[in-house]
Amino acid sequence: MKRRNFIKNASLSGVGLAIGTSLTNCAEKAPIKNEKIIASSEKASLPLVIATWNFPNATTKAWETFQEGKSALDAVEQGCKVEEADLNNTTVGNGASPDRDGNVTLDSCIMNSKGDCGSVVYLQNITHAISVARKVMEDTPHVMLAGKGAEQFAYESGFKKEDLLTESSKKAWEEWKVKSEYKPIINIENHDTIGMLAVDKNGDICGACTTSGLAYKMAGRVGDSPIIGAGLFVDNEIGAAVATGLGEEVMKTVGSFLVVELMRQGKSPQEACEEAIKRIVSKPNSNYKNFQVGYIAVNKKGETGSYSIHKNFSMSKFQDGKNTNTQSDYFIKEEK
């Protein structure tokens, strides 16, 4: 399953970490009323798992992990590992598209219900970046390890070195090189990042996100996916959110943190995802017609939401023993 042209013509210019720019407005809005909301109605059937895109194998694995009596953290890790190991998924783990120099580099993060988090950026030669991120969280005093240091830590933790560039991803990259003349154009079918949120039967929430980022990206480029607060955020008192799409835009609005903060102010997961997308598209210089961003979110009651700029974004859910995939509502309605 590939969603072609998910991000079109996105420019690398202006990429950066504009952390902290987008929360002023939300602080001015509604008063904090999460306690009332949480107490006000019954919880949805738990446990449940949601994921970006159509990843039934991953959500099934997460569900099975719950059935084995394991935690929400185990569920999201095991679920994400399914896609990391899938050689046909060219945007995650083994078999992922390389950067424009031919190197596969992975970004990944994980967060538990206690607010602990771990992240790896620019990790090479290791399929299960999400498990390395978990190790960073659990076995080091740090949140994030990058590049060679992350790789070295992975080997010390028992991970095996692997060549992640498959024959077919190498061939696709070589074809891309001819056409693109090495220009960093990001209009590639490269957007199957898996972000996963799980709520256990007690209502405790964990999340994970793992990706190779944009195909044929500039060497060294890191997106939102391993950045806590941008690609993923979990606040066990409120809920959690995870992003996919053009990471630069998610980082500039600290997107997942924003979604959770909007839920804290009383918005439903659906309303919060919509508002976070509106923050991106309402910027005066936003080029939003040419790129995609999608969010999914869950709150403490187990209510879920998802929203994107363009159509064709979807959310997978495993709940009550059933796997579903639902097209998300989206901002640009006039699109055919």
Supply the residues annotated as catalytic.
193
Check binding of 255 to ligand ASP (CB under 6 A): no
Question: Binding to ligand ASP by residue 328, rule CB under 6 A?
Answer: no
- Closer residue to ligand ASP in complex, CB, 49/222: 222
Determine, following the binding rule CB under 6 A, whether residue 224 of this chain makes contact with ligand ASP: yes
Cβ neighbours of residue 222 under 8 Å, at least 6 residues apart? 107, 121, 122, 146, 213, 247
Q: How many residues touch ligand ASP (CB under 6 A)? A: 13
47 upstream amide cis, omega within 30 of 0: yes
Q: Which is nearer to ligand ASP, 66 or 295 (CB)?
A: 295
Residue 275 CB partners (closer than 8 Å, separation 6+): 26, 258, 259, 262, 267
Q: Does 226 bind ligand ASP (CB under 6 A)?
A: no
- Contact between 214 and ligand ASP by CB under 6 A: the answer reads yes
243: left (phi over 0), alpha (psi -120 to 50) or beta: beta
In the complex, least distance from residue 116 CB atom to ligand ASP, rounded to whole angstroms? 22
Are the C-beta atoms of residues 154 and 123 closer than 8 Å to each other?
A: yes
String marking each residue 78-117 x if it binds ligand ASP according to CB under 6 A:
-------------x--------------------------
CB of 105 to ligand ASP, least distance (A): 10
Burial class, 90, CB count within 10 angstroms (exposed 0-12 / middle 13-18 / buried 19+): buried
For residue 313, give the 3-state DSSP assignment. Answer: coil
Considering only 22, 94, 211, 270, the residue that binds ligand ASP (CB under 6 A) is 211
136-195 positions binding ligand ASP, by CB under 6 A: 191, 193
Tell me the residue ranges of DSSP E strands in the chain: 48-52, 106-111, 117-123, 144-146, 194-199, 205-211, 232-235, 239-245, 293-299, 304-308, 314-319, 322-327, 329-330
For ligand ASP, which is the closer residue by CB, 91 or 306? Answer: 91
Min CB(82)–ligand ASP separation in Å: 17
- State the angle between helix axes of 72-85 and 56-67 in degrees (0 to 180), rounded to the nearest 10: 150
Contact 104, 97 (CB under 8 A): yes
Closest separation between CB of residue 76 and ligand ASP, Å?
Answer: 16
Nearer to ligand ASP, 211 or 265 (CB): 211
CA dihedral 94→95→101→107, nearest 10 degrees, is -40
User: Which of 79, 247, 269, 302 contacts ligand ASP by CB under 6 A?
Assistant: 247
Cis peptide before 141 (omega within 30 of 0): no
In angstroms, rounded to a whole number, what is the distance separating the alpha carbons of residues 121 and 153?
A: 12
Stretch binding ligand ASP (CB under 6 A), from 13-21, 96-104, 209-217, 319-327? 209-217
Based on CB atoms, which residue is closest to ligand ASP, 8 or 70?
8
CB of 304 to ligand ASP, least distance (A): 19
Q: Smallest gap, in angstroms, from Cβ of residue 104 to ligand ASP? A: 13
Residues of the shown chain interacting with ligand ASP in the complex, contacts defined by CB under 6 A: 91, 191, 193, 211, 213-214, 223-225, 244-247
